[in-house]
Structure 1
Amino acid sequence: MPTGVALRDVREQLFDAAERILLRDGPSALTSRAVTTEAGCAKGVLHRHFDDFDAFLAEFVLDRVDRMDAQAAALRESAGTGTVAGNLVDALTAVFGSVAVAIVPLITFRDELRARLRQSWPAGVPVLTEACVMIAVYLAEERDLGRIAADADVDTLAPTLIGAGHLLFADRTGTPPDRDAVRRMVTTVIAGAVP
């Protein structure tokens, strides 16, 4: 690899390379050498910007969690429009169609990464807990609009939807579930909450 080449937005270039590797080859293929090779830069570049590889991975995971803010905003804006089930299908497909499914095994695969994430993310798996919050906020807004039952327990519905969605999308090597499969799951989970 050439050295001395100026890289624009090195962190983002390295994060994007890590995402490509993670999606293509899984967590066991994610090494500092693989990331820098994929990014087209010298290995030392990663270590100049991060204390070590687990520090890099922790910041990568948190960066990808931050990217969910746009999805959360779009879901909140959909409250009161379309159907509740349709909005949830779109949101779950977006969450699990992203790198989120691949991040879960990465976190479970690396003890040191989990330890580092605990320093800034005290409970749960970051992408999944953030998705639960996103869904719970949306469901609360729909409850306030009267589109789901006033007594609907959104704090139970949200993790139920995330857990069931994760199970549907968990096989990264197979074909992702089709929209009908996601819709069946969503309508089953929310059936008791929809008036």
Structure 2
Amino acid sequence: MGTRDRILDAAEQAIHEYGMAGATTKRIARLAGCSEALLYKHFDGKEALLLAVLLERLPALGPALETLHKGVGQGDVVANVTEFALAAVDFYTRAALIASGLLGDPSLLAGFRAMLAEQGTGPHMPIAAVAGALAEEQRLGRIDPGIDADAAAALLMGACFHRANLSYLVDLAGEPGPWAASIVRTLLRR
């Protein structure tokens, strides 16, 4: 395992063990078995390191979005969107520790927002991608043409985000699969 991977593993470990405030670059470097200077050779700052953890270590939305788009016009549309919703809940559940730490640190949040803007990415991108898949399913006549694809995508992602955050505060009964399928059927009028 290379140094960059060790640093990413250490950052994820530090976040889970110490929270965002305690996941200092000094602590991350120590857990990775390297110097802070070496950490900064691989990452421009803590913001870049956190983005890399989000994109490379958490269950990514990218592959789930790719699967959703590849499934357009194939199989059962409710099942396809439900599978994506479950991946989104998993992502948001795992990302909550990083997101809450970012929200609690104004300077870190400002740097993270600037980095996302510079890279042309952010949490709005999956919503747009889901909306695109839903619009294509509409074009193919597989879901109700009266649905606002943008609104349905935003509602789906919002529901996934909400369930993930609720899971930290209350014990949610049952598996998320039936919940996700019900949400999807309601949104798609199926």
Q: TM-score over 0.5 for the alignment?
A: yes
Residue of 60, 70, 73 corresponding to 1:77? 70
The structural deviation recorded for 1:95 is 2.5
Amino acid at match of 1:18: A
Change (3 A) 1:174 1:26: farther
Q: Secondary structure at the match of 1:80?
A: coil
Change (3 A) 1:147 1:60: same
Note the alpha carbon deviations across 1:11-52, whole angstroms, 9 max, x for none.
333223323443565434422133223333333321333344
Q: Distance in 1 between matches of 2:17 and 2:168?
A: 9
Residue of 156, 163, 171 corresponding to 2:158? 163
Structure with greater helix share of residues? 2
Q: Distance in 1 between matches of 2:56 and 2:107?
A: 18
Q: Secondary structure at the match of 1:149?
A: coil
The structural deviation recorded for 1:169 is 1.3
Q: Distance in 1 between matches of 2:137 and 2:16?
A: 33
Amino acid at match of 1:186: V
Q: Distance in 2 between matches of 1:102 and 1:87?
A: 28
Find the counterpart in structure 2 of residue 86 from structure 1.
79
Amino acid at match of 1:167: H
Alignment root-mean-square deviation, CA: 3.1
Query: Quick check: 19-28 or 147-156, which moved more?
Result: 19-28
Find the counterpart in structure 2 of residue 112 from structure 1.
107
The structural deviation recorded for 1:156 is 0.8
Amino acid at match of 2:62: D
Residue of 15, 32, 42 corresponding to 1:39? 32
- Contact 2:47/2:108 (<8 A) preserved: yes
Residue of 9, 14, 17 corresponding to 1:16? 9
Note the alpha carbon deviations across 1:92-142, whole angstroms, 9 max, x for none.
2212313333333233122223222332434xxx66323212311221221
Find the counterpart in structure 2 of residue 128 from structure 1.
123
Amino acid at match of 2:162: L
Change (3 A) 1:165 1:28: same
TM-score, length basis structure 1: 0.74
Segments of 5+ residues of structure 1 without an aligned counterpart are 1-6
Find the counterpart in structure 2 of residue 3 from structure 1.
none
Identity %: 25
